[in-house]
Amino acid sequence: MYKAQLRWQTVVTLLALAMTWGANMAFIKFAAREVAPLFMAGLRSLVAAVFIFLYMRRRGISVFPSAVITGHGAIVGLLFAAEFALIYVGLQYTLASRTYLLVYTAPFFAALGAHFFLKDDRLNWWKGTGLVVAFAGVALLFVRKLGLPTSESLKGDFMALVAGALWAATTLYIKRYLTGQTRPLQAVFFQLFFSFPLLLGLSFLTESPLMSGFSMLTGISLFYQCIVVASVSFIFWFELVHRYPVSLLHAFTFFVPVFGISISGVLMLGEVITTRLVLALCMVGLGMIMVNHRSGKDPHVRVHDTLPSR
């Protein structure tokens, strides 16, 4: 079993992850000046996979515990690769603001999927309303930037929407087939190890040149993406996936675009804090309070303090 309500320590961890992923937007933009996007994503998975592999070997953790688990891990990696491939390719057809909004429909897909496919993770009135309030806060950030769709932008919009569904599907798949059967480190490794061949393969087929230079800023940006995000933050994320309902965890990803605008835009790229940004943050925060609300009358709620033994 897993915990059905988030404690304050977990909330702080999720906010830290949202800040980390939000800042990542600026680092991707910095590195994209000299590195092709799909190649960057594939390189990130490759470097992080090597890092996690060495860490697992040092701790004596089995990399491929069984053929069945490895098969599930391969599916997770392919879902992850497809998600990022769709995001990067879709950005060629539609606006980044539209992509942000559509990718962050993932919490809705996660909540619906968890309701039907996972035990003890049901969608209720409070949780559903909280998701809507939080999503409205994210939409508020981009309402003037969305514009009217064209026939070409609709292609990119569809890719972004599918990417959001794949993000949710990856988490749901891990929750159903790997939680309790693997350690969080193994789930992280599977996602990275099985995704980099597809991402790099797509890059070699569609992108040229792969790199046009390599400045110190590019090196720092790649380190942040490979080690801080794809290695360290993913370890924390998958540890939480093994402990908590995915609908609660995915709901907190609404903070990522808000922090992306405030950290990447304001602090790193010199943009201005607006009333809309503050209001969006308040709406997302209110939505998360509602999502994390637990009624004592909810028959599906069962709280457990520890992970199941392996």
Residue-level pLDDT, tens digit, the chain, 310 residues: 445 567 778 889 998 998 898 788 778 878 888 999 899 999 999 999 999 999 999 989 999 999 999 999 999 999 999 998 888 778 778 766 667 677 777 888 888 888 888 877 677 777 777 778 777 776 776 666 555 556 667 888 888 889 989 999 999 999 889 988 888 889 899 999 999 999 999 999 989 999 999 999 999 999 999 999 999 999 898 888 888 887 778 778 777 777 776 665 555 555 555 666 667 667 776 776 676 655 444 444 333 332 222 3
Task: Tell me the torsion sign for CA atoms 13, 294, 179, 23.
Answer: negative
How far is it, in rounded angstroms, from Cα 112 to Cα 124?
Answer: 10
Q: Is residue 263 within 8 Å of residue 19, measured between CB atoms?
A: yes
What's the CA gap between 260 and 85, in Å, rounded? 20
Q: Quick one: pLDDT at residue 42?
A: 94
pLDDT at 118 (0 to 100):
80
Q: What is the pLDDT of residue 39?
A: 94
Q: Hey, how many other C-beta atoms are within 10 angstroms of the C-beta on 143?
A: 12
* The pLDDT value given to residue 11: 86
pLDDT at 6: 73
| CB-based burial, 284-297: b 16+ in 10 Å, e otherwise | bbebbebbbeeeee
The predicted structure's pLDDT at residue 26: 74
**Which residues are CB-contacts of 83 (< 8 A; sequence separation ≥ 6)?**
163, 166, 167, 170
Q: Chain-centre distance of CA 222, in angstroms? A: 18
Long-range pairs of 79-83 with CB within 8 A, sequence gap ≥ 24:
79/166, 79/169, 79/170, 79/173, 80/45, 80/166, 80/170, 80/191, 80/192, 80/194, 80/195, 81/45, 81/194, 81/195, 81/196, 81/198, 81/199, 82/163, 82/166, 82/198, 83/163, 83/166, 83/167, 83/170
CA distances 57 to 129, 182, 194, Å, are: 44, 15, 18
Q: Using alpha carbons only, what angle is made at residue 124 by residues 123 and 128, rounded to the nearest 5 degrees?
A: 80
C-alpha span between 30 and 142 (Å, rounded): 22
pLDDT for the residue numbered 298: 46
Per-residue pLDDT, 150: 65
How far apart (Å, rounded) are the C-alpha atoms in residues 178 and 247?
Answer: 17
Q: Determine the pLDDT at residue 246.
A: 79
